[in-house]
Structure 1
């Protein structure tokens, strides 16, 4: 029957997570954190690659333009060189300087055309430019870009003031260099050997910086979108965690207040993550707790009922002793009182045993137990006490360590002893109680058979209930408390085993009790 704590109503619909598949909470949180991190890394790498490629293209373009200008000068008269340099300077916005073989400045295009670019003073610019430069420095730090030298015009404009120009003259090949203007825009220089000297070009390529910053702005916009998406996903993920957790916390609180019958704990069968496992664990815990409380209440009610009978009989006998005068009647009442006291003592002992069995087994540490010697000792004990009456006991002892289980020896002995006691009680005069233990596959089976009347099919489950007592014919009232078989089942189930009763199929009558316990690993 479904427990009241099992929630099967529509409350679980809004807590379900059908899209999650087999993803655990750890996977989802990790994926969400990695999403932003991976996008940041990819964006940074993309911008770095874009800048490096653009730097290479612009530097190469300046080199080619300078080399082309030098080749053009070689095909025109010397008198036309200033006109050619002025025309190229206006077209490319470069500053072209021609140094002679002695390093002196021969021609400066700016003296012919005026400045074609202007280095900006960062102190005179708006704060937005300062923010952009801060982002530039941060990006350079992230990608580990080399620090560029600052561009400054030499006090004495000679070839020797430009290391790349000196190198070009010495190595007879074109060279380039990249420097930072005061506002962190690039200044590209190119030097090409020409006519014993060097043709030197400089260009403050502000379009380069604008292109990089446009790309970065686009990436920042995309990153803002990713951050917003990540925040929304985080809120959604937190919602999928917090809502069921809050619902479970409320249910646990209501259980703590003793309202377990009113609690409906969502089991979330569609969720295979940790929240689903927790929900089902809490639901099972609530169900187990409720069943335990119900069992305790039922047990208390049964104890009260069972104690009332001998107490009523004892009270009647004690009160009768005050009124009777005959010795025979007085002796009879004293006998009844003594029997009631013994019955109460037996009942209280069995009640105490039944009450502590579950708790004791829950805390117990199991050891390896060979059931052969244990059962043999029980049989010898019965025969020594002479409590079998006319019944006989036969035990087919198994080979050593073939019927070994993990458990508490004293508890297992109590369970088997209670079954033997029951079998002897129902055995006819001269009857035989047969006991056998053997390993069958992964379990050990203990079989206890008697030659009594057997157990009717409709009572085979009820006999294991507490205080259910069917007395053999002729047995004195109160000899059994009705707890023996209940204690035996509790002990067996506490060892992860099972116990049942059937009719014997090898005899005209009799009951066969079978205990199945998990077998211990072979040594």
Structure 2
């Protein structure tokens, strides 16, 4: 079954049995170019370079002025020859009065009294005598391939140099070799291509007949006293250059002289010139192809290797694929290689972090679940009400611990995505700390330490309103501060004070959270930032998930900053070790660039 659907710009014919749609409409040029374009980058580079070279060569062959220059040069060489020959032929003209032959030049040079009647010679008719003109043409054109014709004023052909033969001369004509082989197919194709590309768009040359001279415009112009040139082609489409000059004596035109080149004289020069151009094109094309292949090898081959490595990364399951290293190249390929290597490293690190996170989550969830299972299984065996109540409290604690763990795990798993999606904004760290410290003091319980904020003045070289401004996420930065304060409160004595200090350094903004607790064992200063690690005092087990400091480090590093922990030491007694006064957590985040002070405070 075939159904047709007609739309304003196309007609779709749908074959429902084959579930195929055929779009019948005219394809645009861009569509065909896209369809016919080679797929590989190497082929495209070679094709584009050769296409540009072809356009250049065709432009040279088609638009060059070499042909016209040859024609002009031939006209300039023929015109003086024609004038010389016409003067010689005019000098040989005499008049026959029936009783005496008059030579006007001899009469003018005699110097006697009859010279006074020389003006009467202008009215006499001096016809061109073929017997006098023929030898002149033969002598002047003996070593050339030029053909000369003399036309009388009535348009009749008087002399044709092709048919002038002296007494005793032998006529020679070149014939093709007896065993001449026909042109090869390549030569025939070359001639056809040459005729098609370089057609001579000149008028056709008709034969000069015995009495049709006045049918040719150049002869009419010469008989009227003008010297003209004309370009025509013969039956073989070969260029013939002709010049026509008047044969005149004493202002009287005795006839016209036409000099013509032989067919093929100019075409052979043009053909040789085109062969040189095409030979040069072939050589340059070969060099271009080699250079294009070399260029494509430096571009396409690295891209192919990078694409193959990326494909192996996509298909890989447990194997870590190494991306080819082209970073030593100072071009886009090197930049692409470095970017792919960094991206792949980050991807593998993320995968490993996810795997480790999943393992840690399963381990941490297992502990409360095991405790919960033990309490539930023991509950039927409880004999007293007190035992049952204690088991119920254990179950409640384990449920709360599970809820806290799941909540913190969900927050930690969403953290990277939220930091990547949300846009950074200018944040005043001093204002954020002031708000959070005030809120912590207002909600402080009786058994919790107080919080004190200390803001050190910014250096004079930095604008006051921009002294503590960073680019970041205010909610997540506030989460870091709350985690550090809650962590300090869990260790600080009830009557102590937790101090929060913020200051401006040259390129960073730093804030510290200091408590008066027992401090941190030196071997655990880095370990406390690991996921699910916790080292709480007695009575606080299960009340923390161990993710607070790990999340804080993740947020700070997303802001291009650093967070670390250290102990506060007091003055050492004589001969003893310095006592630990408490723990200190330090956070440094890059400030918004501006005029910096000379050194850190």
TM-score (norm 2): 0.70
> Alpha-carbon deviation of 1:169?
5.2
Alignment of 1:267-282 (within 5 A): 267-282=325-340
Aligned to 1:153: 207
Contact map agreement 1:372 1:400 (CA 8 A) in 2: no
> Alpha-carbon deviation of 1:493?
2.0
Which of 220, 230, 235 is the matching residue for 1:177? 230
> Alpha-carbon deviation of 1:269?
2.5
Contact map agreement 1:266 1:280 (CA 8 A) in 2: no
d(CA) in 2 for partners of 1:496, 1:304: 30
d(CA) in 2 for partners of 1:362, 1:307: 28
> Alpha-carbon deviation of 1:262?
4.0
Aligned to 1:6: none
Alignment of 1:106-117 (within 5 A): 106-113=158-165
Aligned to 1:18: none
Which of 567, 584, 587 is the matching residue for 1:515? 587
Alignment of 1:9-88 (within 5 A): 33-34=48-49, 37-38=52-53, 41=56, 44-45=59-60, 48-74=64-90, 76=92, 80-88=132-140
d(CA) in 2 for partners of 1:86, 1:506: 129
TM-score (norm 1): 0.80
Please, which runs of 5 or more residues in structure 2 have no aligned partner?
1-39, 95-128, 175-181, 458-463, 572-579, 595-601
Aligned to 1:10: none
Contact map agreement 1:32 1:233 (CA 8 A) in 2: no
d(CA) in 1 for partners of 2:164, 2:262: 19
Aligned to 1:99: 151
> Alpha-carbon deviation of 1:413?
1.5
Aligned to 2:545: 481
Q: Please state if 1:491 is matched with 2:559.
A: no
Contact map agreement 1:133 1:184 (CA 8 A) in 2: no
Number of positions where the alignment pairs a residue of Structure 1 with one of Structure 2: 485
Aligned to 1:310: 368
> Alpha-carbon deviation of 1:190?
1.1
Report the CA distance shift for 1:302/1:207 in structure 2 as closer, same or farther (over 3 A): same
Segment of structure 1 superposing worse, 388-397 or 410-419: 388-397
> Alpha-carbon deviation of 1:369?
3.1
Residues 321-372 of structure 1: CA distance to partner in whole angstroms, max 9, x if unpaired?
3323244444333333332222222222111111111122122233333334
d(CA) in 2 for partners of 1:477, 1:148: 107
Aligned to 1:4: none
d(CA) in 2 for partners of 1:434, 1:116: 123
**Structure 1 or 2: larger helix share?**
1
> Alpha-carbon deviation of 1:84?
0.9
> Alpha-carbon deviation of 1:82?
1.8
Aligned to 1:431: 496
Aligned to 1:143: none
Report the CA distance shift for 1:239/1:57 in structure 2 as closer, same or farther (over 3 A): same
Aligned to 1:407: 472
Alignment of 1:275-294 (within 5 A): 275-294=333-352
> Alpha-carbon deviation of 1:303?
1.4
> Alpha-carbon deviation of 1:240?
4.4
Report the CA distance shift for 1:474/1:432 in structure 2 as closer, same or farther (over 3 A): same
d(CA) in 2 for partners of 1:86, 1:133: 38
> Alpha-carbon deviation of 1:433?
1.9
Contact map agreement 1:189 1:203 (CA 8 A) in 2: yes
RMSD: 3.7
Report the CA distance shift for 1:371/1:27 in structure 2 as closer, same or farther (over 3 A): farther
Contact map agreement 1:36 1:227 (CA 8 A) in 2: no
Give SS of 2:480's match: helix
Aligned to 1:464: 529
Please, which runs of 5 or more residues in structure 1 have no aligned partner?
1-24, 119-124, 141-145
Higher-RCO chain (CA-CA 8 Å, sequence separation at least 6): 1
Contact map agreement 1:499 1:513 (CA 8 A) in 2: yes
